[in-house]
């Protein structure tokens, strides 16, 4: 999802499709990305065992934090994954520039890694346990 002129190198986003917050957000990005003609893939991690194996990713870690695989196979995780997505979508480029700015990015990483991602992960684990009990 890097920009080179008007061209974007295609990336693959792996997201937790069972998360009631993550799924609609990523589906929103996927629609805007398709509209922009970027060719990026957005894949539910529950349908991505082959991708997880290919890139050596742990399913639980991908459940914890958003992952984007760059065109070179490099993983971008958490805030860096969001920056890759946002920078490819015209409507969100301003947000990528803002969150990627030097004073903001460390704070955004801290909030996402220490608060948002753990809270969402814990919420989703509770939902999984309740669903397993029936």
User: Would you give per-residue pLDDT tens digits along the chain (134 residues)?
Assistant: 433 334 458 999 999 999 999 999 999 999 999 999 999 999 999 999 999 999 999 999 999 999 999 999 999 999 999 999 999 999 999 999 999 999 999 999 999 999 999 999 999 999 999 999 98
* C-alpha span between 49 and 60 (Å, rounded): 12
* C-alpha span between 123 and 98 (Å, rounded): 28
φ, ψ dihedrals at 87, nearest 5°: -65, -20
* Residue 43 token pair: 């894949």
Given this structure, which CATH class describes domain 3-133? alpha beta
pTM (two decimals): 0.91
Going through the chain in order, the beta strands assigned E by DSSP cover 3-4, 7-8, 12-15, 41-44, 67-69, 75-77
**pLDDT at position 134, please?**
81
| Ranges of each domain in the chain | 3-133
């Amino acid at each position: 999802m890097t920009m080179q002129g008007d061209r974007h190198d295609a990336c693959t986003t792996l997201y937790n499709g069972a998360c009631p917050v993550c799924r609609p957000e990523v589906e929103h990005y996927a629609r805007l990305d398709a509209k922009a003609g970027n060719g990026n893939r957005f894949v539910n991690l529950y349908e991505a065992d082959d991708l997880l194996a290919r890139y050596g990713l742990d399913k639980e870690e991908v459940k914890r934090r958003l992952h984007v695989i760059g065109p070179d196979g490099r993983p971008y995780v958490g805030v860096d994954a969001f920056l890759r997505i946002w920078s490819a979508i015209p409507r969100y480029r301003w947000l990528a520039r803002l969150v990627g700015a030097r004073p903001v990015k460390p704070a955004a990483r801290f909030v996402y890694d220490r608060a948002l991602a753990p809270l969402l992960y814990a919420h989703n684990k509770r939902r999984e346990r309740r669903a397993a009990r029936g």
